């Protein structure tokens, strides 16, 4: 694709600033844990949050590609419009956004466990519901029950209040565990359900037409985009909580100058 500068600027303005978060988490892990002592797991926590930021950069890339393919195939390719290509490739990258957001959420859950030095035994009661399998759901339930007043819990609850985050996680779970949700514009599709309908007097079946997908590619991209911005806010808030703890350890991080110093 060779998008115009104007459209590239429009797309860039819609994306979360993943690189800013990523660069903030380039921290001297060895120096920090040396100050924290052998009982601390802050070194593991830093790596987990850094991993989340790396995956989130990939989220931003995939989201940019989703927007770009809509513009390219609808407006700027030489033989535009090609709506089927726009839908197919826009959906491909929107799906990728959802999958990577989930993965980044798992990194965040592991950050919380390490940062607060939560023991696995403490999490066990929150694994008993067989419907709860993800690390982030288990840790979220633990934090709500055991650390309701913690800043991390407030940050998690803020994310969960974003309806598009919940929609994205539901979409991802359906994509992985059930039938990948289709979008309109890719021809006739069928849901995984029986075709025969029971009426009061008999069973009937409708021939032809398929099933109507719940989303357009545009609505799907906007859902995962809103979820991405909400997750960006979470990462920023968690990094601030991390920096507060690093400061209490006597390690000063000067992000602007790229310097680290410690208090003896």
pLDDT tens digits, one per residue of 27-84: 999 999 999 999 999 999 999 999 999 999 999 999 999 999 999 999 999 999 999 9
Find out whether 263 and 252 touch, Cβ atoms under 8 Å.
yes
Question: Is pLDDT above 90 for 259?
Answer: no
Averaged confidence pLDDT in the chain:
92
Range of the domain at 163: 5-262
Q: What one-character-per-residue DSSP string does 182-238 give?
A: PBTTSS----SS-SEEE-SS-EEE--SS----SB-HHHHHHHHHHHHHHHHHHHHHH
Q: What one-character-per-residue DSSP string does 75-97 give?
A: IISTT---HHHHHHHHHHHHHHH
Instruction: Kindly report which listed range (83-97, 128-142, 144-158, 211-225) carries the lowest average pLDDT score.
Output: 128-142
Split at pLDDT 50, 70, 90, the class of 192 is: confident
The structure's pTM equals 0.91
Split at pLDDT 50, 70, 90, the class of 207 is: low
Residue-level pLDDT at 264: 42
Rounded to an integer, the average pLDDT of 177-195 is 89
Overall number of domains in the chain: 1
Residue-level pLDDT at 214: 87
Of 105, 158, 166, 167, the C-alpha closest to 136 is 105
Residue-level pLDDT at 208: 66
Rounded to an integer, the average pLDDT of 91-95 is 98
- Separation of CA 75 from chain center: 29
Question: Is pLDDT above 60 for 258?
Answer: no
């Amino acid at each position: 694709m060779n998008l115009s500068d104007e459209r590239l600027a429009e797309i860039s303005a819609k994306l979360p600033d993943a690189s800013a978060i990523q660069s903030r988490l380039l921290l001297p892990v060895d120096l920090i844990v040396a100050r924290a002592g052998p009982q601390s797991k802050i070194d593991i926590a830093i790596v987990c949050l850094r991993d989340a930021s790396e995956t989130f950069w990939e989220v931003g890339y995939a989201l940019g590609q989703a927007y770009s393919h809509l513009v390219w195939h609808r407006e700027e390719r030489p033989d535009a419009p090609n709506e089927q290509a726009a839908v197919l490739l826009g959906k491909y990258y929107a799906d990728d956004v959802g999958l990577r957001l989930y993965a980044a959420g798992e990194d965040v859950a592991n950050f919380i466990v390490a940062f607060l030095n939560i023991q696995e035994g403490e999490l066990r009661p929150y694994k008993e519901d067989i419907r709860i399998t993800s690390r982030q759901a288990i840790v979220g339930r633990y934090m709500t029950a055991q650390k309701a007043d913690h800043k991390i819990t407030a940050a998690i609850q803020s994310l969960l209040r974003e309806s598009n985050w919940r929609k994205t996680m539901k979409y991802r779970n359906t994509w992985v565990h059930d039938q990948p949700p289709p979008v309109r514009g890719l021809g006739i599709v069928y849901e995984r359900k029986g075709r025969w309908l029971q009426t009061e007097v008999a069973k009937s079946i409708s021939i032809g037409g398929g099933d109507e997908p719940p989303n357009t590619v545009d609505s799907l991209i906007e859902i995962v985009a809103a979820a991405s911005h909400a997750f960006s806010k979470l990462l920023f808030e968690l990094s601030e909580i991390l920096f507060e703890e690093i400061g209490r350890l006597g390690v000063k991080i000067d992000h602007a100058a790229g310097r680290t110093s410690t208090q003896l």
